[in-house]
Amino acid sequence: MFDPKANKQPKASVAAPSKGSRGKLTMTANAIPSDSKIRERAYELYEGRGRGPGRDEQDWLRAETEILKQK
C-alpha cells in the first residue's frame, strides 16, 4: 500500500564540471527537490490511477522526474 508520509530520500544531483573547474563535480542544492513536493506529486499520481496498490516506487520516481524537469 502506498504511504504518502513514508520517508524517502531524494537522490543527490551532481552537476557536470564546467570548463574552468578542472574536472571537479559540485552538488547543486537547487537540483534536489524537496521530499514534500515529491511526496505530494506521488500521492496525486497514486490517486489518479485509482489508488491501486503496489506502484509506490514508480509513482515516487515519476514524481521526482517531473519535478526535476520543471527546474
Predicted confidence (pLDDT) at residue 21 exceeds the cutoff of 80: no
Domain membership of residue 4 (yes or no) is no
Domain membership of residue 3 (yes or no) is no
Domain membership of residue 2 (yes or no) is no
**Number of domains within the chain:** 1
Mean pLDDT of 1-10: 55
More confident of the two residues 68 and 17 = 68
Supply the pLDDT for residue 32: 76
Domain membership of residue 55 (yes or no) is yes
Domain membership of residue 18 (yes or no) is yes
Domain membership of residue 5 (yes or no) is no
| Residue 42 domain boundaries | 14-70
Domain membership of residue 1 (yes or no) is no
CA distance 50 to 40: 16
Helix and strand totals (H; E) in the chain: 2, 2
Domain membership of residue 36 (yes or no) is yes
Supply the pLDDT for residue 35: 93
Q: What is the pLDDT of residues 25-63, one digit of tens each?
A: 455 666 677 899 999 999 999 999 999 999 999 999 999
Taking alpha carbons only, the member of 2, 64, 56, 69 closest to residue 35 is 64
